[in-house]
Structure 1
Amino acid sequence: MNNNEPRLPNGLDEFSMTTASKQYSNIGRAWYRFSRNYAAVIGLIIVCSVILMAIFAPLIAPNPEHAGSFVNFRARHLAPSWEHWMGTDNVGRDIFSRVIFGYQVSLALVVGVLSLSVPIGVLLGIVAAYAGGWVEQTIMRFNDMLLAVPPLALALAITSILEPSLINAMIAISFLWWNWHCRLIYQLAKSIVTEDFVEAAKLSGASHWHIITKEILPNCVAAISVKTTLDAGFVILFGATLSFLGLGVQPPTPDLGTMVSTGSNYLPEYWWEAIMPGLAILYIILGFNLLGDGLRDFFDVEV
């Protein structure tokens, strides 16, 4: 054996090195395609900025103590300035600091709602498409029944029964959000179950769970990713609507919808108390929508 011949690292062979290089190459090409969509990149930057602000809120906020039960009547209703970028509210709290902490509540709502509703909707949609028969009819007719009810009316009914809080707002929104994913994945999985590779898995004796999770679900990941990203903005808007009506997060917890509701009492003289939190809601929703549209073009899926 030639001692000068280069050796591969321990545990690696030429095949694994080739596979790894192909994966890195695919990731590079995928990022290049995504980066050509400037709107999607802007959306990604916006979403990342909001996430970073929420994570490091105590360090970024100029007045982190204003996120709680803080009162300073000498500084109430101050217009936007270098000291208070978004002005102060009716009790003298810095609105910019409260907006940053409000992003924590909005992102917590997104994570909570989508973590509950997406798995339920996806699983029921795939099961309905795969099982067929009475299982399909039962799941989809129940789904159609919920879709016929106006979402806001259903959420208001649930939150009016429960005590207004962040947890109960998550429950109310999750109860009506899973059916959108169920309908989408059902239509997609219905076409997948007739594909040859699914029939081949059945003939090879694969279990139903294996076919659902290993054959059908991976082909739905692109649509799930796009739908989930687009839904994040709508969940934030829905949660802000509930808070605006007094059925969501309660004071003194900083919530964007509650801040808009409180600030609207002082329009038009102290316009910044409602406009600034409203622009903060617009900012984060715009980010998720731009990112979702970019992913939809990237994966070339219809949702």
Structure 2
Amino acid sequence: MPSPDDTMRAVEEETPVILSARRMAWMRFRSNPAALIGGFMVISVILAAIFAPLIAPYPEAAGNTIDFANRHAAPSAENFAGTDKVGRDIFSRVIFGFRVSLLLVIGVLGIAVPVGAALGLAAGYFGGRTELLITGFTNVMLAIPPLVIALAVGSILTPTLVNAMIAIALLWWTWHARLVYRVAKSVAAEDFVEAARLAGASHWHVLTREILPNCIAVISVKTTLDAAFVILFGATLSFLGLGVRPPTPDLGSMVADGRQFLPEMWWGVFFPALGIFYATLGFNLLGDGLRDMFDVEV
């Protein structure tokens, strides 16, 4: 006859383990190698941007340093990625270029995400004329190519990092507004939202405590994926001469400067372009991993 301890042990072994939704989501993310690689790449870019003066072998290359005796030096042990047309270390400038790219991401998405989310929530929750007005205006803005409006703003204003943020953010909020509107409209029809209304909850409470938490997952995924596009978009503006002004290191302007000396001085284009590729790929892989983790569509 089995002892009480043996019986309890058998019951525990046969009892299924019930995991929380949060733990299951984390397990899905952890089991995705591409997501982990993307997370590592994003963290490395962020750390490189924060600690650029400590990581860059020649931090003075981010400024007005000129060394014509070392101009267009090929990649070597002293200059891992070679030097540019005035002798500045390209690898150091790429590291500092990550700082400009991340500042652009923070500035653009810091404007676009709150504005788009607020408009999407209002349209999805209130409906009626509010919905028609917001969705109609959003659709009109979506019809305008982002690069066209960015070029127009960039050509009118002085090319600076702040103006580049404004030029990109002017249309970027539309994608978040449309996405949050779709989710908010679906959530607003749920029973728990109706119960909160009947209980006398204010519109602010329903929007921020009932509907918004259900939009956080899609907002997080969309923001992560958008970071890659903002980096690429900002590099495009800089390549066209509408980004930050020299001597501030910017990956797009570095590619534009280096292309003048192709194909002999290939490193002037290859390493800045590799930096753009590395940062955008990292955010894309991380965003895809978060999408699988939260099991949402954006």
TM-score by structure 1 length?
A: 0.91
Query: How large is the RMSD of aligned CA atoms in angstroms?
Result: 1.3
Residue in structure 2 matching 1:112, options 107, 110, 118:
107
Query: Is 1:87 paired with 2:48?
Result: no
Q: What is the DSSP-based 3-state SS (H/G/I as helix, E as strand, rest coil) of the residue aligned with 2:215?
A: helix
Greater Cα shift, 25-34 or 172-181: 25-34
Report the Cα offset of residue 29 of structure 1. 4.7
Q: What are the superposed Cα offsets for residues 29-50 of structure 1, whole Å, 9 maximum, x if unpaired?
A: 5433211000000000000001
Q: Give the Cα separation in 2 of the matches to 1:135 and 1:190.
A: 12
Aligned partner letter, 1:237: L
The match for 1:133 is: 128
Report the Cα offset of residue 190 of structure 1. 1.0
Q: Give the Cα separation in 2 of the matches to 1:158 and 1:136.
A: 29
Q: Give the Cα separation in 1 of the matches to 2:148 and 2:214.
A: 34
Q: What is the DSSP-based 3-state SS (H/G/I as helix, E as strand, rest coil) of the residue aligned with 1:251?
A: coil
Q: What is the DSSP-based 3-state SS (H/G/I as helix, E as strand, rest coil) of the residue aligned with 1:130?
A: helix
Q: Give the Cα separation in 1 of the matches to 2:187 and 2:21.
A: 25
Q: Which runs of 5+ in 2 are unaligned?
A: 1-17
- What does 1:246-285 correspond to in 2, within 5 Å? 246-285=241-280
TM-score by structure 2 length?
A: 0.92
**Contact kept in structure 1, 2:160 and 2:245, CA below 8 Å:** yes
Q: Give the Cα separation in 2 of the matches to 1:219 and 1:132.
A: 18
Query: Is 1:157 paired with 2:158?
Result: no
Q: What are the superposed Cα offsets for residues 7-60 of structure 1, whole Å, 9 maximum, x if unpaired?
A: xxxxxxxxxxxxxxx99x776554332110000000000000011111111111
Query: Is 1:292 paired with 2:287?
Result: yes
Aligned partner letter, 2:30: S
Residue in structure 2 matching 1:175, options 170, 173, 189:
170
**Contact kept in structure 1, 2:61 and 2:92, CA below 8 Å:** yes
The match for 2:182 is: 187
Seq. identity, %: 65
Q: Give the Cα separation in 1 of the matches to 2:67 and 2:109.
A: 38
Q: Give the Cα separation in 1 of the matches to 2:26 and 2:129.
A: 44
**Contact kept in structure 1, 2:28 and 2:292, CA below 8 Å:** no
Q: Which runs of 5+ in 1 are unaligned?
A: 1-21
Q: What are the superposed Cα offsets for residues 150-201 of structure 1, whole Å, 9 maximum, x if unpaired?
A: 1100111111111110000001111110000000111111111110001001
